[in-house]
Amino acid sequence: MDYRTPVCIIVSLAAVTFSVRALLTGKFVSGLLFVSVLGLFTPFHPAQFTYVRTSILDMATLALFAASPIIFEKSAGPLALKHPKGKL
């Protein structure tokens, strides 16, 4: 089993989740972006791309998922550092 198969399964599940979320919030263009990611990373019929194209697609998908909080207009709540008030 290639390392790409589990990655494709995880990316496919995330793409389905985000595309449904985008369509339910009325962001149809974002929904189509995530559906296209699902088409590229489906584990059922893996597409054979060159190493360079695979790397480019991986980085583009990573950027899309990293931008998903911005797409859905959510803050990075738990990621934000909060300093406790008081004495050190």
pLDDT of residue 87: 60
Cα(84)–Cα(66) distance, integer angstroms: 28
| Contact predicate 31/22, CB 8 Å | yes
Cα(69)–Cα(80) distance, integer angstroms: 13
The verdict on residue 23 lying in a domain is yes
The verdict on residue 10 lying in a domain is yes
Judged against a pLDDT cut of 70, whether residue 85 lies above it is answered with no
The verdict on residue 83 lying in a domain is no
The verdict on residue 88 lying in a domain is no
- Dump pLDDT digits (tens) for 37-80: 887 777 666 667 777 877 787 788 888 888 887 877 764 455 44
pLDDT of residue 43: 65
Domain count along the chain: 1
Task: Report yes or no on whether pTM surpasses 0.85.
Answer: no
Cα(50)–Cα(30) distance, integer angstroms: 27
The verdict on residue 20 lying in a domain is yes
47: domain range? 4-71
The verdict on residue 86 lying in a domain is no
| Contact predicate 72/22, CB 8 Å | yes
